[in-house]
Amino acid sequence: MGVIFRSEETFLSHLHHLRRNLLSHGGLQRRKDREHFNAFKSNPIVDPEEKVVCVTSGVSFLGSAIVEELSTHGYSVRVIVDSPEDVSKLDETTSGRHNVTVVVAKLTDVNSLVEAFNGCRGVFHTSSSIDPAGLSGYTKVMSEVEMRSTENVMEACSRTETIRNCVLTSSLLACIWRDQHGETETSQIVDHASWSSLELCQHKKLWLALGKLKSEKVAWKIAQESGLKLATICSALITGPNSHLRSSTATLAYLKGAGEMYANGVLATVDVTKLAKAHLYVYEGMKDNTASGRYICFDRVISTADEAATFAAEIRVPIRTIVQTTPLIDSPISFQLSNKKLSNLIARSNLQGSRCLNENRDF
């Protein structure tokens, strides 16, 4: 019996799903064949591509920090940018580094991403779609754009035979916005197993949280279908030198709902350099099968009125953006953030003589 499609849109949707399944099956089979072959090699040969990786949005605040961390630790880094103008910016900052190259590829074009990824062993997807015209720097439309970009990156990874691992930068926002009334019991601990509620993010118009949540969900779906090894890092608000200048729109988008986050004890930050190091720890753990799944990354929780005032001054926002009570009061700490999984990974890596700097105490 033939299949009847009610509309061209339905037909295209079915066709897209079939295409993804075929590509995912092909990528999974190639990975199985390669792993089967490697298992029989008695004298492993050093793979020249083993330390070749790709970073999306390398001109961003976080992207540039990850590029710096990877190149310092001997990786050959291929940086993806969207335009020739970004190439010029990176050329100025990476001048003299023989192990950093820049390529132009569109996150909207899977084929261009496959071409950019070819020859790399890993991909760090850090890109976040920011709309400067939006009041908070991030609109509802941008949440859909970000999800589609992540979907394209993941599909490109699954289609690129040389890619083995992918690290996706997600957000703590994808963990903390839980529907406390819709669940029979909400854990007081927010960790790597916690997921935000899609409906709650939509209801509260938390568009950055929605975009990060949908992006991470689609990434895990494609990874499971294709057999690609994926790890996600759910980052707190990124801070660091001149962060108020380099990522001001992203900061404003993250702080939507900051008053409630502060009141619940889940308003947290992380220094950009420490976050970049965490990406390296996770990636190297994936290579020796000691890292997988989700990780929460933060190094400071804003829990007192004094801390909130200091933080507001650092990022150049009014204190009322964070503490909405009069007089200013300390957070009652309704929930507790936990990055135990990441801390344990870093501790194990350091004990095993990891080449990364020993800064485990800061996580």
Chain-centre distance for alpha carbon 61: 13
Smallest CA-to-CA distance from 223 within 313, 293, 130, 290 is with 293
Catalytic residues: 212
36, burial (CB in 10 Å: exposed 0-12, middle 13-18, buried 19+): exposed
Taken in order 183, 363, 50, 33, is the CA torsion positive or negative? negative
Structure tokens at 266: 């889940």
The type of residue at 91 is: D
Task: Please report where in the chains the tokens 């568009």 appear, as a residue.
Answer: 207
Structure tokens at 107: 């996150």
92, burial (CB in 10 Å: exposed 0-12, middle 13-18, buried 19+): exposed
Buried b (16+ CB within 10 A) or exposed e, 51-64: bbbbbbbbbbbbbb
Contacts of 226 (CB under 8 A, 6+ apart): 23, 24, 27, 28, 154, 157, 158
The helix (H) or strand (E) run that includes residue 242 is none
Q: Is the peptide bond before 327 cis (omega within 30 degrees of 0)?
A: yes
Q: How far apart are the first and last CA of the chain?
A: 59
